[in-house]
Amino acid sequence: SPKNPEQKIIKRVIALEGDIIRTMGHKNRYVKVPRGHIWVEGDHHGHSFDSNSFGPVSLGLLHAHATHILWPPERWQKLESVLPPERILVKSEEE
């Protein structure tokens, strides 16, 4: 976590470097993600401590990619890499 180096947080990647994103609760309405950074958000927007609070995250802080939930067994699933429909980008770098 950029605010607490002892803590690891798990969020979804919403935007990569160069993308312009419309933020939810950040001090600037639109943010362009700088080079070498990513924008992360929790799926539960109202109660998430994510880039809307601490801004874009440097790629060097990335620890791992969460692929599956293993425990508890009734929540055993593969985590899909899907962007929530309401979080489409204003402008993507690839365009």
Of residues 42 and 55, the one with the C-beta less far from another protein: 55
Least separation in angstroms between residue 55's CB and another protein is: 10
Of residues 35 and 44, the one with the C-beta less far from another protein: 35
Q: Going along 35-90, which residue ranges are E strands?
A: 37-41, 57-58, 68-69, 77-78
Q: Give me 42's structure tokens.
A: 């929790």
**Rounded CA separation 41/33 (Å):** 13
Of residues 2 and 87, the one with the C-beta less far from another protein: 2
Q: Which residues bind another protein (CB under 8 A)?
A: 1-6, 34-37, 58-62
Least separation in angstroms between residue 25's CB and another protein is: 18
Least separation in angstroms between residue 13's CB and another protein is: 14
**Rounded CA separation 93/95 (Å):** 6
Least separation in angstroms between residue 68's CB and another protein is: 25
Q: Which residues contact 35 (CB under 8 A, 6 or more apart)?
A: 17, 18
**Rounded CA separation 22/84 (Å):** 13
Of residues 53 and 88, the one with the C-beta less far from another protein: 53
